[in-house]
Structure 1
Amino acid sequence: MKKKYGKNRPGKGQHFKNEDSQGEVRAKKHLGQHFLKDENVAEKIAETLTYQGYDYVLEIGPGMGVLTKYLLKKDIDVHVIEIDTESVIYLNEHYPPLHGKIHEKDFLKYDISEVFGKDQFAIIGNFPYNISSQIVFKMLELRDFIPEFSGMFQMEVAKRICEKEGSKTYGILSVLVQAFYEAEYLFTVPPTVFNPPPKVDSGVLRLTRKEDFSLPCNEKLFFRVVKTAFQQRRKTLRNSLKIFDLPEDIKEDSIFGLRPEQLSVARFIELTQKIEPHAV
């Protein structure tokens, strides 16, 4: 897991060698970088994608390419996006097949259609903890083009994304992701496989887009309802959704007496359908 995004450019840091490389990239504290050093884990992550139904894979934050080398063995066109200039130099020097396919950009700000147009592509990576949720939200915006998504998060975040209703950790990401994707928590990764080791366990998940991923309701309103409901998760929906200024007779429906973590994705869709005729 490599936390690679930040406002600053590379500065002082520690040096860590990739196990089978002849070069090195500095692990920069201000970017929160943790380099995956276990080849078996890297290969296992590369195997989480099916490589079916698309021609491209985009790896976010490849660092020194410990995962990239296994992606390049697949019959797929691999691109990487990396904000760390030193890592970009390293990748260009050590992975000739990536020439022309290394994008020194911030994934959160970059219009990825400049690379893939309207073609389908998968996303994979050892995602930086500090922006992992933002990466998932960006992926959801691009869901029409991303049939598969897999990678490593802080374990708690990975489990939250895959959680079902009724759990205290079930939240905005759980509902929004599972509305469009099947979510699977695959395996846990200990801190010892990183250099330097993080203070928490990591978790790897896989998201597979549903065959029919259109919703039978206004999708923008669905996002708004889910986010608004969980902003005051301890309140019943009758109270947390006051911003919608709904008629009193609508709020008498029993669903408004529930708290957001009690609603499945299907029931959030039902809730959105009830609100839609009255939403401003």
Structure 2
Amino acid sequence: MEKVRPKKHLGQHFLTDLGIAEQIAMAVQGHMGVQQLLEIGPGMGVLTDYLLKLPMELYLIDIDSESVVYLQKKYPQLGSKIIEGDYLKENFDEQLPEQYAIAGNFPYNISSQILFRVLEERQKVTEVVCMLQKEVAKRIASPKGNKDYGILSVLLQAYYDIEYLFSVPPSVFNPPPKVNSGVIRLKRNSIEKLECNERLFFQVVKAGFGNRRKTLRNSLKSFQLAEDFKSHPILDKRAEQLDVADFVFLTQQIDASRGNH
């Protein structure tokens, strides 16, 4: 079988190290008893070989038609479980009606978008084990008060317990990326719904980090805070000093003050 050539416009860097592929696969725990696993961007199936050994039903999705043809030849037993499509746009209700886990070496140029999609699908996605650009992986796993801490950190940590597992050098990819990589694991926590207006919560978090150097009093001006709340000490802080619970509290206050207008 002819090898698939990595395409720059798709951000493809194919993993070549079998040991690392096995480590990533072994990190998938089947959290909350999920039976189905979706691999995003399998490329030539280096990680797929190890995911197939897990006691889960495996699905593959790749946007690259050349990869899909290659995977269909390599894994004829998967049949229609090999999907040519874009994870950011695909509707999985038919193929994956139950809860499922995700694994993959995510293309760096869309890794944040994939994780925002995971947030949209948070009632179905119980676990994610993925390789990302190291600084993005560190940011997502970062606690409050850290300069790496940002929008994705807060939003993902609201619904997932996150662990940074290990780092991966550029030399184990074809072609080698210009950056180091990191592998993280997200496991869905027990929070079905936040104790606030979730849509507003997302808006407050994004606005809070909109200008990291400003205090929240300045960055949240557009939300028309209630007069008696404007002097609250939490507003003297910057977004990176707040954890999920603080942002929930802030959202509750903003929501309540809207009701007073």
TM-score, shorter chain, exceeding 0.5: yes
Partner of 1:163: 142
Distance, in Å, in 1 between the alignment partners of 2:66 and 2:146 is 42
Deviations 1:113-166 (A, max 9, x none): 23212x110011000000000000000000001111111000000000000111
TM-score (norm 2): 0.96
Distance, in Å, in 2 between the alignment partners of 1:251 and 1:205 is 38
The 8 Å contact of residues 137 and 184 in structure 2, kept in 1 or not, is answered as yes
Partner of 1:18: none
Deviations 1:221-253 (A, max 9, x none): 111110111011111111111111122221111
Q: 1:215, CA displacement in angstroms?
A: 1.1
Alignment of 1:88 with 2:68, yes or no, is yes
SS at match of 1:113: coil
Give 1:187's match in structure 2, choosing from 145, 149, 166. Answer: 166
5+ unaligned residues in a row in structure 1: which ranges? Answer: 1-21
Partner of 2:82: 102
Q: How does 1:193-272 map to 2 (within 5 A)?
A: 193-272=172-251
Give the partner amino acid of 2:207: T
Alignment of 1:71 with 2:51, yes or no, is yes
Distance, in Å, in 1 between the alignment partners of 2:61 and 2:79 is 12
Alignment of 1:133 with 2:112, yes or no, is yes
How high is the sequence identity, in percent, across the aligned residues?
Answer: 57
Give the partner amino acid of 1:109: K
Distance, in Å, in 2 between the alignment partners of 1:230 and 1:92 is 44
Partner of 1:30: 9
User: Number of paired residues?
Assistant: 258
The 8 Å contact of residues 15 and 21 in structure 2, kept in 1 or not, is answered as yes
Deviations 1:53-73 (A, max 9, x none): 111000000000000111111
The 8 Å contact of residues 226 and 254 in structure 2, kept in 1 or not, is answered as no
Distance, in Å, in 2 between the alignment partners of 1:213 and 1:133 is 22
Distance, in Å, in 1 between the alignment partners of 2:245 and 2:226 is 23
SS at match of 2:135: helix
SS at match of 1:114: coil
CA RMSD, 1 decimal: 1.2
Distance, in Å, in 2 between the alignment partners of 1:197 and 1:269 is 41
Give the partner amino acid of 1:57: L
Distance, in Å, in 2 between the alignment partners of 1:269 and 1:88 is 43
Deviations 1:158-205 (A, max 9, x none): 000000111111110110010111010000000010011111100000
Deviations 1:39-83 (A, max 9, x none): 000010001111241110000000000001111111110001101
5+ unaligned residues in a row in structure 2: which ranges? Answer: none
The 8 Å contact of residues 181 and 213 in structure 1, kept in 2 or not, is answered as no
